[in-house]
């Protein structure tokens, strides 16, 4: 009897999809926490989260290095500033932060 490799392949694809989904959820949760802790205006949350997830994907380590601090202070605000520098021309406001 010949083994059918298709079920194994399907399971591997489902597992890879699940792991990717979990990774994105973790990055999104981290980005939202960074946004809240640094008073990012809520109107910008979705765009910042999208940026953060993409940065995590592109990172060699699988996460955005600056965010791996427990204090979420100046390092995480730096991440928001990077995002803002890349995208400020898309918005009419001068700052992404709540006044």
Number of C-beta neighbours around residue 57 at 10 A: 14
Distance CA 46, CA 39 (A): 14
Q: Residue 86: pLDDT above 90?
A: yes
| Of 94 and 2, the one with more pLDDT | 94
Provide the whole-model pTM: 0.79
Query: Which of the four pLDDT bands, split at 50, 70 and 90, describes residue 68?
Result: very low
Among 27, 82, 84, 83, residue whose Cα is nearest residue 57: 27
Query: Which of the four pLDDT bands, split at 50, 70 and 90, describes residue 71?
Result: very low
Among 56, 49, 57, residue whose Cα is nearest residue 87: 49
The pLDDT tens digits of the residues spanning 2-59 come to 777 788 888 999 999 999 999 999 999 999 999 999 999 999 999 999 999 999 988 8
Angle at 63 between CA 67 and CA 99, to 5 degrees: 35
What does DSSP assign to residue 97?
Answer: B
């Amino acid at each position: 009897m010949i083994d059918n490799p298709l079920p194994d392949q399907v399971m591997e694809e489902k597992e890879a999809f699940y792991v990717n989904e979990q990774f994105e959820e973790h990055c999104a949760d981290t980005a939202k926490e960074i946004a809240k802790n640094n008073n990012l205006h809520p109107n910008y949350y979705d765009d910042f989260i999208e940026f953060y997830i993409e940065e995590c994907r592109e990172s060699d380590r699988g996460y955005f290095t600056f965010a791996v601090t427990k204090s979420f202070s100046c390092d995480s605000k730096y991440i928001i500033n990077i995002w803002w520098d890349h995208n400020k021309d898309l918005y009419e406001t001068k700052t992404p932060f709540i006044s």
